[in-house]
Amino acid sequence: MRDYQNYIDGAFVAGPEAFADVDPTTGRQVAWVHEADAALVDRAVRAARRAVEGPWGRTSVASRAVLLRRIADEIDRRADDLLAAEVADTGKPASVARALDVARAAANFRCFADVVAAEGTESFLQELPDGGQALNYALRKPLGVVAAIVPWNLPLLLLTWKLAPALACGNAVVVKPSEETPGSATVLAEILDAVGVPPGVYNVVHGFGSGSAGEHLVTHPDVDGVTFTGSTATGTGIMKAVAPRVRPVSFELGGKNAALVFADADLDATVAGLTRSVFANTGQVCLCTERVYVERSIFDEVAERLTASARALRLGAPSDAATTTGPVISRAHQEKILRYFAAAEQAGAKAITGGGVPTMTGDLAGGFWVEPTLWTGLTNEDRVVREEIFGPAAALIPFDTEQEAVALANDTSYGLAAAVWTTDLRRAHRVAGRMDVGISWVNNWFLRELRSPFGGTGLSGIGREGGRHSLDFYTETTNVCVTL
């Protein structure tokens, strides 16, 4: 049985109590996790403060870029350990975790090593009324002690997406991983220690949200900023918690993402793309498609082909090379998804595939499985089409005109991502640009250039991460104005 302790000031620290970490493929406990109480969270924040005010806060950009590349190399070297921790916690297929989660973790550090090393200083030469000049230049300084709160769906990928730019900018970080997925953040502590990241620069506190490590961290008076990825409801609470201290927040929240399929789309590519965008990570990616709007003339064909594709998915053990799809994260999440399945049925939807719990055998019988599910017969008025399910399910809805498709896609309080499937170049640009979202894909999904802006509008978040957008969040600037 694994034992995940907190990591504070360069050392592993037991908590006063421990809770169980469960493998979602079997429902069996795989680890004990040491919950950090308020005193341990305070120790972590103090350690981070000492680090940021010590030599670490004055390191050169060049030396931090070198360190980030060393971390990436060590992630590659320890890939099997990270993989094992991630798979035990999430139940996702090992092949997916290796190619996506672990590979992206290393890529995140390499990307921000490059970005920070290439970043210049903004400067303006100002003409004065008396004929003189003033030179303005903006100094970037670390934001300070950063609290990073991350969810369970892509634990390592999302943690390193925050940690890499935060360290690149010279901050110290206190991470609160999800209570469902404490493993990879803990292994990462060993990796950072091995390459010489100083004590206090990276700290991990384990626990839950309200009344536990999460709340203790975001309400701590000495935290300089909070970067959060998770649900909109939790984000709202965190915003209130930091409001009295007017601290900056960066929020990557939920989504209710649309795909728009036009009659001129390349259907082979579209069906393959939709299969990924609806069912990747068992639908547990904030960017997953849950609303598929299809031009009426090809609606039946798309429904039929996507159904066949969904039925070809193989639910199974992470180590089985044939497995495409894992379980959902927990019993509670499975029950939540099944409540949406019941709501869809009540609203008169037809489940053209799935709609329930599959029969699994052997060890997998105790896991949290959900059938890949597609519905027809729903409209934008139905709750299932308005609220984020965060599971392997989508509604297929027909449209007649481009204008109607755009209106239906934008008829949501979320605004994270959209995918447009068409071979008409002018329509592609026109429709993609009219999506009220942070990321608008054309004929692809989940393609990410890590220097490009990433984030959401509406209930999907505040701010953008990626490339220099991340540097903006993780730094404070002081503009120096000198008369010449």
Among residues 170, 200, 461, 466, the one that binds ligand NAD under rule CB under 6 A = 461
238 counts as binding ligand NAD under rule CB under 6 A = yes
Point out which residues pair with 259 in neighbouring strands: 292, 419
Point out which residues pair with 140 in neighbouring strands: 477
252 is catalytic: yes
372 counts as binding ligand NAD under rule CB under 6 A = no
The enclosing H or E element of 372 equals: none
Cα–Cα distance, 248 to 463 (Å, whole number): 10
The enclosing H or E element of 425 equals: helix 425-434
446 counts as binding ligand NAD under rule CB under 6 A = no
Q: Count residues near ligand NAD (CB under 6 A).
A: 31
Contact track, ligand NAD, 337-366, x by CB under 6 A: ------------------------------
237 counts as binding ligand NAD under rule CB under 6 A = yes
Report phi then psi at 173, rounded to 5. Answer: -125, 140
Cα–Cα distance, 383 to 344 (Å, whole number): 8
Among residues 225, 255, 355, 398, the one that binds ligand NAD under rule CB under 6 A = 255
Cα–Cα distance, 334 to 209 (Å, whole number): 20
Residue 250 CB, nearest approach to ligand NAD (Å): 10
3-state helix, strand, coil split of the chain in percent (to 5) is 45, 25, 35
Cα–Cα distance, 158 to 69 (Å, whole number): 18
257 counts as binding ligand NAD under rule CB under 6 A = no
Q: Which residues contact 120 (CB under 8 A, 6 or more apart)?
A: none
Which one of 16-24, 113-121, 150-158, 259-267 is the stretch in contact with ligand NAD (CB under 6 A)?
A: 150-158
Q: Which residues contact 446 (CB under 8 A, 6 or more apart)?
A: 276, 277, 280, 285, 287
214 counts as binding ligand NAD under rule CB under 6 A = yes
Q: Which residues contact 57 (CB under 8 A, 6 or more apart)?
A: 51, 142, 170, 172
Cα–Cα distance, 286 to 460 (Å, whole number): 9
Q: What are the E-state strand segments in 401-460?
A: 417-421, 439-442
89 counts as binding ligand NAD under rule CB under 6 A = no
Query: Among 252, 290, 295, 371, which one carries the catalytic annotation?
Result: 252
Residues of this chain, 176-195, that bind ligand NAD according to CB under 6 A = 176, 178-179
Identity of the residue, 227 or 376, whose beta carbon is nearer to ligand NAD in the bound complex: 227
Which one of 149-157, 354-362, 420-428, 444-452 is the stretch in contact with ligand NAD (CB under 6 A)?
A: 149-157
Identity of the residue, 157 or 409, whose beta carbon is nearer to ligand NAD in the bound complex: 157
Which one of 32-40, 50-58, 148-156, 260-268 is the stretch in contact with ligand NAD (CB under 6 A)?
A: 148-156
Identity of the residue, 302 or 329, whose beta carbon is nearer to ligand NAD in the bound complex: 329
- Structure-block tokens of residue 107: 């890529």
Q: What positions carry a catalytic annotation?
A: 252
Interaction site with ligand NAD (CB under 6 A) = 149-153, 158, 176, 178-179, 208-210, 214-215, 218, 229-231, 234, 237-238, 252-255, 286, 388, 390, 416, 456, 461
